[in-house]
Amino acid sequence: MRARRLTGTVAGVIALALTAAGCGLSGGSDSGEATAGGCKVDKANVGSGKLSGEVKGKITFQTTNLKKDFGGFFNGVIKAFEKAHPGASVKWIDDPGDNTFTQRTVADAQACTLPDVLNVNSETATALTKAGYLLDLGVKDPDSAKPFVPAFWKSSTMKDSSGASVHTVFPWYTGGIVLTYNTDLLKKAGIDPAQPPKTIFGLFADYEKIAKSAQGKYYATMANPVWRIPADWDQMNIRTLSADGKSATFADDPRTTQWVAWMAKLYKEGAMPKDSLSSSNDPSTPYSQGKVAYGSTNPSFVRFVKQNSPSVYAKTGVGQQPFDALGHTTGAPQYISVAATSKNAPTALAFAEFLTNAENQTAWCKDPNVVIFPTTTASLDDPFFQNVTGDDPFAEARKLVAEQLKTATAYQTNLSPAVQNAIVSQVQLAMQGKKSPEQAVKDAQEKADELLKQGS
Amino acid sequence: MATQTVKPVSVPGAEPTSAPGTAPSRLRRLARALLPGPAPGANGAALYRRWWLPWLWTAPALVCAAVFGVFPFLNTVLLSFTDAKPLGGAANFVGLSNYTRMLDDSDFWLATRNSVLYALIVVPLMVLLPLMLAVLVEKKLPGIGFFRSAFYTPVLASSVVVGLSWQWLLADDGLINTWLQKAHLIRHAIPFLSDSWLILFCAMGLTLWKGLGWYMIFYLAALGNVPRELHEAAAMDGAGAIRRFWHITVPGVRQAMMLVGTLTGIGSLRVFTEIFMLGSYTGGPGGADRTLPFYIRDVGLDPLTGNAGYGSAVSVALFLLTLGLTLLAQRLTKEDES
Q: Is the pLDDT at B307 greater than 60, yes or no?
A: yes
What pLDDT does B23 receive?
A: 52
Query: Average pLDDT of A201-230?
Result: 95
| Domain co-membership, A120 together with A195 | no
Is the same domain home to A203 and A85? no
Q: What is the pLDDT of residue A324?
A: 93
CATH, residue A84? 3.40.190.10
Residue A391 lies in a domain: yes
Residue B87 has its nearest CB partner, among A131, A224, A274, at A131
Q: Cβ of B302 and A417 within 8 Å?
A: yes
Query: Do A284 and A338 share a domain, yes or no?
Result: no
Q: What is the mean pLDDT of chain B?
A: 85
What's the pLDDT tens digit per position in A142-169?
999 999 988 888 888 888 888 888 999 9
Q: For domain B105-337, give the CATH superfamily.
A: MetI-like (1.10.3720.10)
* Residue A144: domain span: 43-175+331-404
A291 and A350 belong to one structural domain: no
Is residue A28 within 8 angstroms of chain B, CB to CB?
A: yes
Instruction: Check whether B41 has a pLDDT greater than 70.
Output: no
Task: Say yes or no to pLDDT of B335 above 80.
Answer: no
Report the pLDDT value the prediction gives residue B149, as an integer from 0 to 100.
Answer: 86
Task: Give the integer Cα–Cα distance in Å for B132 and B205.
Answer: 17
Q: What is the pLDDT of residue A21?
A: 37
- Ordered by start, the domain boundaries in chain B are 105-337
In Å, what is the CA distance from B101 to each residue of A310, A445, B311?
Answer: 55, 18, 11
Within-domain flag for A11: no
Percent of chain A at pLDDT above 70?
93
Output A456 or B172, whichever has higher pLDDT: B172
Please tell me the predicted confidence (pLDDT) of residue A33: 60
Tell me the pTM. 0.81
| Among A127, A429, A454, beta carbon nearest to B310 | A454
Q: Is the pLDDT of residue A15 over 70?
A: no
The tens digit of pLDDT for each residue in A319-330 reads 999 999 999 888
> Do A207 and A301 reside in the same domain of the chain?
yes
Q: Which residues contact A152 (CB under 8 A, 6 or more apart)?
A: A171, A333, A375, A405, A408, A409, A410
Chain A hits for B191, Cβ within 8 Å: 274-275
Section A49-53 average pLDDT: 86
Per-residue pLDDT band for A120 (boundaries 50, 70, 90) equals: very high
Name every residue whose Cβ is closer than 8 Å to that of residue A26 and which is 6 or more positions away in sequence. Answer: B90
Q: Are A416 and B304 a contacting pair at CB < 8 A?
A: yes
Total number of domains in chain A: 2
Task: Inform me whether the C-beta atom of residue B280 falls under 8 Å from chain A C-beta atoms.
Answer: yes
Euclidean distance between CA atoms A114 and A338, whole angstroms: 9
Q: What is the pLDDT of residue B5?
A: 42
Dist. CA B285–CA A275, nearest whole Å: 10
B225-B227-B231-B233 Cα dihedral, nearest 10 degrees: -170
pLDDT digits (tens, 9 = 90+) for A408-455: 888 888 898 889 999 999 999 999 999 999 999 999 999 999 999 887
Write the CB contacts of B183 (distance below 8 Å, at least 6 apart in sequence).
Answer: none
Q: Is residue A375 part of a domain?
A: yes
- What is the band of B32 on the pLDDT scale with cuts at 50, 70, 90? low
Q: Check if A110 contacts B (Cβ < 8 Å).
A: yes
Same domain membership, residue A241 and residue A353: no
Per-residue confidence (pLDDT) for residue A280, from 0 to 100: 76
pLDDT of residue A77: 96
Does A277 score more than 60 pLDDT? yes
If asked whether residues A289 and A200 sit together in one domain, one would say yes
Q: What is the pLDDT confidence band of residue B39, given thresholds at 50, 70 and 90?
A: low
Q: What's the pLDDT band for A220 if we cut at 50, 70, 90?
A: very high
State which H helix or E strand residue A108 sits in: helix A101-110
Residue A338 shares a structural domain with residue A324 = no
Best residue in B76, B77, B87 to probe A by mutation, most A CBs within 10 Å?
Answer: B87
- Whether residues A350 and A275 fall in one domain: no
A146 and A199, same domain (yes or no): no
Condensed to tens digits (0 to 9), the pLDDT of residues B226-265 reads 888 888 899 888 888 889 999 999 989 988 999 999 999 9
Distance from CA of A259 to the nearest CA of B (A): 17
Q: Residue A57's CB: how many other CB atoms inside 10 A?
A: 17
Q: What is the mean pLDDT of residues A80-109?
A: 91
Percent of chain B at pLDDT > 70 equals: 85
State the ipTM, two decimals. 0.80
Q: Is residue A7 part of a domain?
A: no
Q: Tell which A residues from 162 to 181 touch B, by Cβ distance under 8 Å.
A: none
β-strand partners of A41: A34
Indicate if A228 and A268 belong to the same structural domain.
Answer: yes
Give yes or no: residues A266 and A320 share one domain.
yes
Residue A364 has pLDDT above 60, yes or no: yes
- Provide mean pLDDT across the span B110-139: 93
pLDDT in tens, B142-165: 888 888 888 888 888 888 888 889
